[in-house]
Amino acid sequence: MKPRHPLFQLATWKRLAANRIPGQVVIQYTDRCNAACAQCGMRRTSTFERSSMDMQQARMLIDAVAERGVQSISFTGGEPLLHLDEIALLMEHAGRAGIPFVRTGTNGFIFRGHESPGWEDKIKRMAERFAATPLNTFWISVDSADAEVHEKNRGFSGIVAGMEKALPIFHEAGIYPAANLGINRLTGGDGPHRLPSYTGPATDDPNTSAAAWAFYAAARTAFRRFYRMVHDLGFTMANACYPMSFEDEGDAVYAATSEDDFISFRPAEKALLFRALYETIPEFRGELRIFSPRSSLRALVRSYATGEPQGYPCRGGVDFFFVDCKDMNTYPCGYRGSENLGKFWDLDLGALPAPDCRRCDWECFRDPSEMLGPVMQALRNPLALARSIRRDTEAFKVWAVDAAYYRACGFFDGRKPPQYERMARFAKTDSLAEPIQT
């Protein structure tokens, strides 16, 4: 049986009142990968010694995660579905251990060969196998609104047509996959849709110069093209991974980073890029369940525009962790590779430091940190929250709309169809790009 949603568990509220989030562990089951992605050091042509976890140890890890009250685990890679049977067994184990949120995903190689005999039966078997597990979110990577660009980057042909054929089969089995965009310069396509470079000063107001406007407008078009494309393919849910290019990349234990121009954006570009995503999301909230919270994006826009940290610090290393497939050691996240916390089953979560890291924009950790920040503040220090709201009322309003939208999306339960009538009231048409008010 699927464990109850954490929001309906007393333990969750006790944890929040104690300034702790229900928690999340990203388990890198393998660093083996069959894709060719420019944005990632684990691409098939990279030469390093590959590893995958031992099943028995992975079960021990899941038990330790559950015993510590962590409520969400993600099985990532590499490509997790190179180990499909093991991942399915581990998801079942996680459900039995009482972990309510279980996620995994794919680079899409499973959609190759959609015209071959037996392909539909294969996808049906896979969907039914997953439906028998407590899988909550199943993400499928999509890098671009242009199918050819996506397939070229991944190194797989025909997979977008395969996705379109496979989605109804997954829906029939009761699984609603999420399109997972890793934001890049080709998000909207190549040629005229490629994002230009912006080398001007940092600003969150695209009206300040023609160059700022050109970059911002291109990013708006790219995100619109992307959301339209995944909606038309049959996706009901979408997420955006913020570009993972940052200064201390050498530290990363999780090699899903790159300095390739495809994914590298200067800080001044990021202010406008995140602004474009922030403005585009409401246009599609009525037709897609879009996980990316605008409150988180707003904080990123302001941080990159002003150079001053905004919003809530990341909970990586406090409530969120990354476990590496090579030696099963735990890290605060995949990027603070010099902070080896040892085996998860030896960790004392009570002895960890307060959150203060803002070194990167990893949305897996940043977005939930931002969404739960005001809740924890309300439970622990309502006066401090009142002061923050007075200081930046607009930020709180954006957060409140995000929270209401999350509810309308059934908290992104990928086992349920979207409720379009509830989502419709969050749909907004185009808005003018005026400076974000604080």
Q: What span, in angstroms and rounded, lies between the C-alpha atoms of 1 and 86? A: 20
Q: How far apart are the first and last CA of the chain?
A: 46
Site for ligand SF4 in 18-37 (CB under 6 A): 33, 35, 37
Q: At what angle do helices 382-391 and 363-380 cross, to 10 degrees?
A: 120
Rounded least distance, CB 335 to ligand SF4, Å: 4
CB of 88 to ligand SF4, least distance (A): 19
Q: Which residues ranging from 223 to 282 are in contact with ligand SF4 (CB under 6 A)?
A: 256
- Closest separation in Å from C-beta 139 to ligand SF4: 11
C-alpha distances in Å from residue 329, one per residue of 65, 93, 254, 403, 415: 13, 20, 12, 34, 31
Which residue among 59, 68, 194, 358 contacts ligand SF4 (CB under 6 A)? 358
* Interaction of residue 50 with ligand SF4, rule CB under 6 A: no
Question: According to CB under 6 A, which residues from 79 to 138 bind ligand SF4?
Answer: 79, 107
Per-residue interface string for the shown chain with ligand SF4, residues 177-216, x marking contact by CB under 6 A: ----------------------------------------
Q: Site residues for ligand SF4, window 384-403 (CB under 6 A)?
A: none
* Rounded Cα distance, 146 and 184, in Å: 13
CB closest to ligand SF4, residue no: 316
- Token pair recorded at residue 168: 């109804």
Q: In this chain, which of 254, 278, 365, 399 binds ligand SF4, going by CB under 6 A?
A: 365
| 368 part of the interface to ligand SF4, by CB under 6 A | no
Tell me whether residue 40 or residue 233 sits nearer to ligand SF4 (CB atom): 40
Within residues 60-89, the interface with ligand SF4 by CB under 6 A covers: 77-79
Q: Is 362 in the site for ligand SF4 (CB under 6 A)?
A: yes
CB closer to ligand SF4 out of 99 and 357: 357
Least separation in angstroms between residue 360's CB and ligand SF4 is 3
- What does the H/E/C string look like for 43-86? CCCCCCCCCECCHHHHHHHHHHHHHCCCCEEEEECCCHHHHHHH
The least distance separating ligand SF4 from the CB of residue 244, rounded to whole angstroms, comes to 9
CB of 219 to ligand SF4, least distance (A): 21
CA distance 52 to 69: 25
For ligand SF4, the binding residue among 102, 123, 357, 371 (CB under 6 A) is 357
Place of tokens 């919270």: 293
> Which member of 282, 336, 408, 418 binds ligand SF4 (CB under 6 A)?
336
Shortest reach from residue 126's CB to ligand SF4, in Å: 17
Look at residues 245, 244, 240, 185 and name the one whose alpha carbon lies nearest to residue 218.
Answer: 185
Place of tokens 């539909």: 120
**Closest among 231, 286, 258 to 425, alpha carbons compared:** 286
**Residue count at the site for ligand SF4 (CB under 6 A)?**
24
For ligand SF4, give the closer residue by CB, 35 or 268.
Answer: 35
| Span interacting with ligand SF4, options 257-265, 270-278, 329-337, 393-401, rule CB under 6 A | 329-337
Q: Which stretch binds ligand SF4 (CB under 6 A): 124-132, 294-302, 311-319, 346-354?
A: 311-319
Q: State in angstroms the smallest separation of the CB of 352 from ligand SF4.
A: 12
- Out of 15, 43, 150, 220, name the contact with ligand SF4 by CB under 6 A: 43
Q: Which of 65, 301, 333, 408 binds ligand SF4 (CB under 6 A)?
A: 333
Q: Given candidates 360, 371, 398, 408, which one binds ligand SF4 under the rule CB under 6 A?
A: 360
Whether the CB-CB separation of 432 and 275 falls below 8 Å is answered with no
Residue 230 vs 263, nearer CB to ligand SF4:
263
Interface residue with ligand SF4, options 26, 88, 314, 323 (CB under 6 A): 314
Q: Which residues bind ligand SF4 (CB under 6 A)?
A: 33, 35, 37, 40, 42-43, 77-79, 107, 256, 314, 316-317, 332-333, 335-336, 357-360, 362, 365
